[in-house]
Each structure stands twice: as structure tokens, then as C-alpha cells.
Structure 1
Amino acid sequence: MSDPEPHTKTLLIIGFMWPEPKATAAGGRMMQLIHFFINHDYSITFACAASETERTSDLDSLGVKKIHIKLNHASFDDFLVGLNPGLVLFDRFMIEEQFGWRVARSAPNALRILETQDLHSLRISRQEALKRGAIFSVGDWLGHETTKREIASIYRSDLSLVLSSFELGILRNTIGINSGLMLHLPFLMAPIHELTAANWLGFEARSDFICIGNGKHAPNVDSVVWLKKGIWPILHKALPKAVIHVYGAYLPQKITQLNDSSTGFFVRGWATDAYEVMGKARVNLAPLRFGAGIKGKLIDAMCTGTPNVTTTIGAEGMRGERPWNGEIADDPEAFAHAAIKLYCDREAWQMAQYNGIKIINELYDKNKLDRVFHSKLKKVRDDLESHRSQNFIGGMLWHHTMASTKYMSKWIEAKQVVP
């Protein structure tokens, strides 16, 4: 008997965590995708094995059905058969590893989409190189175990959403992944209109620096420590009246203990409205020494007219060939002097703000990206069998390596029921 035809307008999202758009950039990105599918009349179910928090988005108010699921449990198979989704979106490659084989078995005709968020393997291999005191090379990334897992997940998926143009390039040119298996889909932002920009606070009305980032994200923690120890002393000496406000959800003690009113270094914790605090600051600082993907804090700054000072890694894959909305520097002294320049030079500040508007409107316009995403989904959905037949490596991985994931999961499941 053939498999039943899926409900093509039924979407299942399997989340790594429940979306927290006011706490994490990943949560904001997930809500952008949810709104895209709502606007295209999909019935959405969000399933997750993690616990909800006080910062979890109110999905019920959007008509999104929530399901709490268990890892490595056969009950998920029955749930899949009953839902019979037309699309399944995996939130990061680890979720595809855990649930992909169950989806392939119980909903074989569903279009499988991988939301990469960022290339975790790139971020991790960069972090390890920094820890060793070594200069990162692509060879570090290619040889990393996480890279093999992440690339395999991309090949097993029908379509992978890649946020960073840099990451799309290395996946295509270094690994050789067929462009048809990927879609460059950065953050989906509302265009910045003249009236919006006219309502921003101007140069003189703003003061101080800001640094913002989720404390559960290792690049953010490292950046604040580096900022306090290597950059802020130079800045504070040059601009003794300026202070910095460090915001972020889930900040660890390692960060909160850096609070120092005597040097104007204030650790504020979670900002309930990131746009509000960002829009009052004169300059945003993001001294990221490792990381990957699109940086939500830098997008937020552009959307509130706040220039960014960041590193090469911070700006990576975010602007195409366009001028940056601020300054890029990779050593403490250069970073500090770049921040001082933007803070004091009204003309440079206004040009940086203008560059940010152009970056958002030309690269992140959700209206344009909506059409691109919708068209790609239709193309793959309408010819899914042919699409899969051309993905030989993906088919080979399904035939061989997924068996190990499947049987490991079943072994864990069996252990859970043994008294």
C-alpha cells in the first residue's frame, strides 16, 4: 500500500527550544519563519522536547499548536502518522539527527527543511582555534567532527536555509553542495522607511555605548570579557564621561561580576525591549572573536539607526559588497579607536547610519525574501521525487549512516523501558 498523500499546507516545526524572540536572535529568526508560514495559510504545529520558560513566545495567540514531545520515543512516530505533515522544519542539525529518520519513515512524502541558524561547526572550530592560540583555517573546519555531522544533515534534507552569504559560499565552493539543496534566506526584516528613520534619536540626543547578547551563547560571553579587559580601558581613558551598558538574557556570573561603576562598565542584564535600549545608544559594540551566521544584535542596531563597531567575523556574510554601517577592527586598540571615531564624529556616524539602512533595505527586505522563499518551496514541493533523485549523496547517507542514528535512538528507547 502506498503512503498517504501529505497535507501540503500542514507544517510541523521541531524546535531545539521554544522560541524566545526577546531573549535570543535564534528565537527572533524562528518567529520570522512562523509568520512567513502563517501568511501563506499553513496550519502550524510546533513540537519541542525542551521546557518552556517565562520568555517563551505566546504561540497559542498566533494559532500555532504546541506539542511537548519526548526524545528517542516511539510516541513521536504515532504523532507523525496522525498529523501527516506536508512540510517538516528541523530547527538546527542536531534536531534533524534526532528526528529526521523518524520523519523519513513515518512521513516519507513530507518536504524536509533544515533551518541551519548558523554553521555550528564553523563557530565551534573557530572557538577551539582561539582557545589554542592558533590562527583559524578552513582546514580546521573541514577536519572537525561536527562539520561532518552538520554537512551530512544538510545532504539528508530536501532544502537547507542558510542565513549567511559567507556560509553559503563555503558550503557551495569548498564542500561542493549543489545550490539546489540550499536557499540563502537571511533575517526577514521590515524595510526601513524615511518616516521611521526620521523618528530615530539623532546624534546629539544619544549617548553612551551598548553591548548586547544572550549569555548562553559562547561568542557573546567571550566578547564581553574581551571588551572589559582589552578594549574598554582604552575607551574609558579617551572618553571618561561615556559609559557602556551591557545587556543580555541568561548572563552568567562570569559576566555579571564585571559590573564596575567606577569605570562606567554597567552590566544591566536582560532588556525587555532591545530596540528601545539600542535606539538610545550612540554606538553598538560587538567585539566577536569567534562565531558564525548572521548576528541579530547587529541587525537590531541597523534597524534602530545605531552604528556598529564589530570584528571581521561579526560582519561576515551580512553586507555583500556594501559599506559597513560603522567600523570593523580585529585588535583591541584598533577597535577602541574605531569606536571613539564613531562616537565623536557626527558626519561618520550619520554615514554609518545611512549604510545600515541600505543594508537592511537591499539585503533583508522581508517582502522580497518572502517571494524567493515561497517560489523555492513550490519548486521543490512540485517535483520532490526528481529533486531527491538528483541528491545522490543524500540518498547514500539515508541508506547507510542513518541506520546508525536510528538504531542508537532505538537502543536508548529500549533502555528507557527496561526496569
Structure 2
Amino acid sequence: MASKKFTRKIDKMNDKVCYRLVHKYYLWKEGVTKKLVDMQLIRLLSKRFFYLFILLFRFNKYPRKVQYMMPKDFAKRLLGLYHFHKAGIPRKLRSYPSLVFPVFEAPEVTIIIAVFNQWQFTYNCLKSILEHTGDIPYHIVVVDDGSADETASCLQHCENITVIRNEQNIGFLRSCNKAAGGVRSKYICFLNNDTMVSQRWLYHMVNVFKLHDDAGVVGAKLLYPYGLLQEAGGLVNATGEPANYGRWTDPREYQYNYLRETDYCSGACILIQTQDFLTLKGFNEQYAPAYYEDTDLCFAARFRLGKKVFYQPLAEVVHFEGISSGKRAEKGNVKNYQLHNAKTFVNTWKSYFNRFSDSNLFDNQVDKFSRNRKRILIIEGFLPSYDKDSGSRRVYELIKIFFSLDLEVYFMPEFGGAVEPYYSELVTRGVRVFYEQQYLKSKQEMLREILPVIDYAWVARPHSNEAHASLIKEQKNIVWIYDTVDLHFLRLERSLAYDQSQHITKKDIDVLKEKELALSREADVTVVVTPFEKNILIKAGTKHVKVIPNIHPVKKGTAFPSFEEREGLCFIGGYEHLPNVDAVLWLVKEIMPLVWTQAPGIKLALLGSHPPPEVLALRSDLIAVPGYIHDVSSYFNNSRLFVAPLRYGAGMKGKIGHAMEYGLPAVATDIGVEGMGLEVNRDIAVANTAETFAAEILDLYSNRERWMNIARHSVETIRRYSPEVVQGLVKELIMGVAKQ
């Protein structure tokens, strides 16, 4: 373990040195700095070779893929210059393989690419689209703006795309407007031909519109081919001067990896709704032939349509900048229009520049659109896998509530990294996720950077609160909210009382109990999920306790299948939670044999993630153990009963509420329904022995009238845990602690 920690530390230090080498070299190569060789470079190279020497004798696997390469490339790798490498410059080929694009009956996005010569870059761009855009229906329109090279002839070998040929060069802006006039898809994506897209790039951009009704324009994260950041959205200061945020820095840094409102995004890759583009009459032709048309479009979307401009970090696009127009404004090249159009832009929009910030410093412009919002930091064990366990689902619903209360949401998982699809969905919703593996910093280092801007720290479970309480308390402006999720000591006390052979002693539980109670007294507010647990804490001397229960969205206007259309039983639970394993073993070994004696054909589905060997061994002709299923609605809609024979545990059981969302009558134990305020035989059936549990299953399974009564009341009762109701509780909590 010590050797792994040591090599991980060396990996981080080596990574930082490589970044500094790449940064220094390319700033010199781009002409930003004149001096390359100096003492700093010598020190960096010395560190690089020292770390490489250590890594040759590492005790565990090197984290990066080792590849064979040409001597020149090997030398760059040795110097650290390939550490962030994304793509090589496309080379001209004697012949180019044909590209056959898919045909979609109703494309959601039209990708418009205006090109002028440079066929090898256009081909590289088209090939990357074909390889990385399989999850969104799209169609490509290429506007050949009078190319004189092989572009026209080679485009004939690209199947299922539309090619528009301009006999004379009319420029980027007019070519895009010309192509957009015939678009029928919901969205238009403008993409430069000197780009190379990455996996799911278009999906992530479209998803911003689907999760944010007020989205007007969405732009991508642009990277240089050597791996440094080119743009994480564009900023405009109070005098109208623009800048590409993050240029030539490390694209993995936290500040470049959350969805952010921004002033503009580069037209190298932007997405807009077709109707909005047409309403604005396309790119403003006063900027023809090119430059500032993208900035002007973003300002028009915000200030004329009342919509927002978003930078989407998940959509990564390599941009070979300046291939057609040059990198610097010089007499005779297209880039020279940048200087003229800058004045036009300022004159058009000067009354809007200081509406959100009157600063000329670009660092002050980054979060100007959210400056007046309060900020809440959530610390949890993992990213919320909302389709796998009820605790995660509660956190996920709380995040949506925090946004509805106009809070900026930060999230730090204690363990794991960017687990998909949960990471991408959180980022696209606007959550600022930061985690140890990505940012090459410890959790303590990251928290020291983030906490000064945080207003509320919502920290779940005792171990996280114990680990970070001292740092949180250093910030006098932060309200510390301790979310117990459930009282761990109570769950373990019940577990030990149920089974004396547990690998935990009464003394261990007492130590944990004292720790939990001390934290609850120390925090500004302690959150529990049931009134039962609230009373326990109040009796133990905790003053500020709030109940924030599980959250169950109501399925409005849904017609559920009838009694006659359903059959079988189902259970759901994450099997890493031991009470769920115990429940299904008791169900199958003691309860179901009694049921099958009188109703031998009833089938049982044991749903849930991570089933252990003892659960998998229960499979039979009557018992299905499908493992993790993303969408379990078919089971809840088609089963006649839900069963939850929990014999120990604590907190509110999300599985019961989940069944009630679907109007699915349930049989549970007293432990299962604890804290929900359910009325027995009205909202649910309750039994606590194998015999009575089996009897309830048999009666409710065959008694249509009783089944209909519980099904109807289930849907009515679960409304008390709807997002709208819980939002009121959260708002009361937030406003209450803000006044203390």
C-alpha cells in the first residue's frame, strides 16, 4: 500500500512537470514568450528525468499506455511534450478511403461545415464525425466555398452528405447562412473543417438544450492538437474586449470542467436551435466574410432572445487553429478582418458589456452570470447512481431541488471518479464536480480552494463529516449541514440484535454512536430522513434537526396496468447493502415456500445491482435475478405485488416509495415502512413473520378489491414525498439556517 501511494504521488508530480514543460514550449512556439532556454527549463527537465528514473522501477503498473514510435516522437515523449498530445496534423494522402455516413429518417442536427481548400483537414473532420457521432441522428452539409484543390472531387466519394458548391468564394459567414436556409432539423451545428471531434461530442451539446429550457447557444471545449486548452468559452470585459478563457492551460483543471454560462463560444463548434438562428436572421452579414459573427450571434441570443450561452466541457473538439485564415492578423489574409470587425462589435453591443460586471479583468468575468447566487457544496461517498440505490436517488433529487432554489451546486465524491453516465449528467445539469483523480490534488487541497466561496456545506454520512469538519469550520461564512442519510449506529444495533454473529461488537457500535451524536450536536443543522430518527437525536441533545425524506416524483397522467394485466412479485435493492441480502434470503428460503404451497406458479423477480453469489444462487424457473437494470419500470408496471421483507435497517426505505410511485401494492415489515407514516391496510400491507408475510402475499395477490384500494391510496399518499413538497422543506431549512 505504501509503495502504491508513493508511485501515485510520483505520477502526480511527473504529470505537473510535463504540463509545465508543454506549456512553456508551446508558449514559446506560438510566439507568446521569446525565451525558451532558461534556468526554469533546466530545472523542469531535471525533474522530468528524475521522475522517469523512479518510474522505471515502480512497483505497480504505469498509468499511461506505452507505445512504439519514431525517434522524433520518442524524443518528444521523453521531454514530456507528448504527455497531453491529442492529435497529429493531418497529412495529405495519395487517395482517401470513401466515407459512408448513416441515413437518418429525421435528423435532429444538421452539421454545417464551410470549407475552402485544405482537403486533408476536411477529410479528417468528416472521418471523426463518422467515428464519434453514433448517438444523435444527424446530417452533414458541406459548403465548398470555391476550393481550388481536390476538395470538390474528393467530396464526391463521401456518401449521404449534402454538398453545396459556391462557384466564387463568398466567405465563411455567407456560406454558413446559405446552408442554414435549407435546414429542417431542430438544431444546427456550425463546425470548422479544421477540427476533430471526440466521442459523444454532439450528444453532450444537444443534452444541454434538453436539460436547460433557456439554452440559446452551446459551445464546445476547444483543444490544441498538442493537448493544451484553446478555449473554455469566451469572455468579454466591460470595454468589449474578448478573450478565450483558459488559453494554453491544462484542460483538466476544475475551472474548465463545469457547464458554465459564458459571453460567447467560438464558431469553430457551436450548436443553436434552427428556429432561433432563423429568427436572428443568421450570422450578421456586417461581419462578412468572417470574425466576430459568432460573438455577435451569442450576444443576440442572450439580449434579443432572452436565452443563455453555455460552454459544455464534455464536448471536446481538437481545433487546428488558423489553417485557412492564419493565426495572426496580417495584410491580405482573412484574419485581418478581425481588427475591423472588433470595432463593429463594440459599437453594436457597447451598452451591454458592463451589465453583469464592470471589471476589465477577465478573471472577474468567469462566473459573472451566477455571481449573486448562493453556493452549496455536497460531499458524498460516490457520484449519485440514482438508478441503483435509494440514497443516491435522494441526493440526485436534492440536487435538482437546489437548482430550483437558484443555488450553484458543487459536488465532491469521496471515492471514485467520473463514473458514467452519472458524471456527464451532473455536469450537464450544471453541477460543478471535482474529484481527486482528475485534478492531481488531494481532497484537502481541493477543499481549501473551493470552501472560501461556499455558503452551505451539505456533508453526508459520519465518516465524511468527521474527515472534513475542521476545514469547514475554518470558514466562518459556511453553514455546515450534516446529512445522516440514516443513523448508522441504529442500523448496526438492530443488525447485531438480529444476528449475534456479526463482525462488529457492541463496543464498536457504542463508539460509532458517540461519534454520530457528537457530530449532530456540533453541526449547524443535522438532517435525518424520518421523524423517528429526529426524535432519537433530540432526546440525545441535538438542537437543530430537520427531516428531509426520500423524494419520489409523482407520475402524473400515467395509466397503470390493471390488476388482471399483472402477475408475479418483485423486490428491488442494492445488494451491497446487507439488509437487502438478508431480506431476499429470508423471502426465498422461508416465505415463498409457504406461498408456493398454495399458489405454485407465482414468479419472483429479485431486482438490484451487485447481486452476490448467495443471491445469484437463488435463480430457478420461478426466480429471476437479472442484476442491474437501468429502467425497471416494466417490472413495476407488470408485477402484481412488491415485497420488502426487511428484518433490520434504519432510515426511510426508498424501495417502498418507489413501488408506491407506480401504484404497486406492497407487503413489507415494520422495519420496511418505518418513518413513512403509512396506514396499514390502506397504503400498504404489513407482516413480520414468515407465516403472516406469506398469508398477506396470498391474500393481496388474489383479492382484487383490496389490491385496488391499496393501489389507489399508494399513489395518493406518495405525493407527500414529491419534489414539490420536499422543496418546501429544503427551502425552509436553507432560509432558516441563513438567519441563524
| Fold shared, TM-score > 0.5 on shorter chain | yes
Are the structure 2 counterparts of residues 73 and 302 from structure 1 closer, same or farther at C-alpha, using a change threshold of 3 Å?
closer
Distance 1:47 1:368 in 2: 27
Task: Give the CA deviation at 1:191.
Answer: 4.1
1:8, 1:87 within 8 Å by CA — same for their partners in 2?
A: no
1:341 aligns with 2:721: no
Identity %: 27
Deviation at 1:192, TM superposition (A): 5.5
Looking at CA atoms only, which structure, 1 or 2, has the larger radius of gyration?
2
Match in the other structure for 1:86: 455
User: Are the counterparts in 1 of residues 537 and 545 from structure 2 also a CA contact under 8 Å?
Assistant: no
The aligned residue for residue 486 of structure 2 is 118
Asked if 1:144 corresponds to 2:144, the answer is no
Equivalent residue number for residue 187 of structure 2: none
Which residue does the alignment assign to 1:225? 585
Look up the SS of the partner of 1:266 in the other structure.
Answer: strand
Provide the C-alpha distance between the structure 1 equivalents of 2:683 and 2:507, rounded to a whole number of angstroms.
29
Look up the match of 1:66.
433
Give the CA deviation at 1:324. 5.0
Match of 2:734 in 1: 377
Is the CA contact (8 Å cut-off) linking 2:701 and 2:707 kept in structure 1?
A: yes
Q: Distance in 2 between matches of 1:369 and 1:229?
A: 38
Unaligned runs of 5+ in 2: 1-370
Name the residue aligned to 1:392: none
- After superposition, give the CA deviation of every residue in 1:127-168 in whole Å (9 maximum; x if it has no partner): 11111289xxxxx79972221111112112111221112212
Question: Does residue 9 in structure 1 map to residue 374 in structure 2?
Answer: yes
* 1:301-357 per-position Cα deviation (integer Å, ceiling 9, x unaligned): 000011111111001111256755231111111101111111010011111112212
* Change in 2 beyond 3 A, CA 1:141/1:336: farther
Q: How far 1:256 moved relative to its partner? A: 0.7
One-letter code aligned to 2:550: F
Query: Aligned residue for 1:273?
Result: 631
Note if contact 1:7-1:86 (Cα within 8 Å) is conserved in structure 2.
no
What TM-score do you get using the length of structure 2 for normalisation?
A: 0.47
C-alpha displacement of 1:73: 5.5
Provide the rounded CA distance (Å) in 2 between the counterparts of 1:370 and 1:342: 34
Work out whether residues 552 and 658 of structure 2, in 8 Å CA contact, stay in contact via their aligned partners in 1. no
Tell me whether 1:159 sits opposite 2:517 in the alignment: no
Stretch deviating more after TM superposition (202-211 or 315-324): 315-324
Q: How does 1:354-393 map to 2 (within 5 A)?
A: 354-361=712-719, 363-383=720-740
The answer for the alignment partner of 1:299 in structure 2 is: 657
Please tell me whether the aligned partners of residues 652 and 675 of structure 2 are also in contact (alpha carbons under 8 angstroms).
Answer: yes
**What is the rounded CA distance, in whole Å, between the counterparts of 1:228 and 1:40 in structure 2?**
45
Shift of 1:38: 0.7
Aligned to 2:599: 239
Q: 1:338 to 1:123 in 2, by over 3 A?
A: same
Amino acid at match of 1:161: V
CA distance in 2 between counterparts of 1:274 and 1:165 reads 29
2:662–2:715 contact (8 Å) kept in structure 1: no
Q: C-alpha displacement at 1:114, in angstroms?
A: 1.5
Unaligned runs of 5+ in 1: 1-5, 135-139, 384-419
* Equivalent residue number for residue 40 of structure 1: 405
- Contact 1:192–1:360 (CA under 8 A) maintained in structure 2: no
Q: How far apart are residue 68 of structure 1 and its match?
A: 0.5
SS in 2 for 1:161: strand
- 8 Å Cα contact 2:568-2:602 kept in structure 1: yes
Q: CA deviation at 1:42?
A: 1.2
In the alignment, is the contact (CA less than 8 A) between 1:165 and 1:320 conserved in 2? no
1:101 has 2:470 as partner? yes
Amino acid at match of 1:98: A
Task: Select which of 173, 181, 190 maps to 2:553.
Answer: 190
Letter paired with 1:76: M
Counterpart for residue 675 of structure 2:
317
Deviation at 1:55, TM superposition (A): 5.5
Q: Please point out which of 561, 565, 570 is paired with 1:201.
A: 561
Q: Provide the TM-score with structure 1 as the length reference.
A: 0.81
* Whole-Å separation in 1 of the counterparts to 2:526 and 2:501: 33
Contact conserved, 1:210 with 1:284, CA < 8 A, in 2?
yes
In the alignment, the residues of structure 1 paired with residue 372 and residue 495 of structure 2 have an alpha-carbon distance, to the nearest angstrom, of 42
Output one character per residue of 1:25-83: Cα deviation in whole Å (capped at 9) or x when no partner. Answer: 111000111001111111111112311434635211101111013897641353235x5
Which is helix-richer, 1 or 2?
1
Distance 1:48 1:290 in 2: 28
- Residue 50 of structure 1 pairs with residue 50 of structure 2: no
Per the alignment, do residues 328 and 55 of structure 1 end up closer, same or farther by CA in structure 2, a change over 3 Å counting?
farther
CA offset digits 1:222-246 (Å, max 9, x no partner): 1011111111111122211110011
2:685 aligned partner = 327
Aligned amino acid, residue 189 of structure 1: H
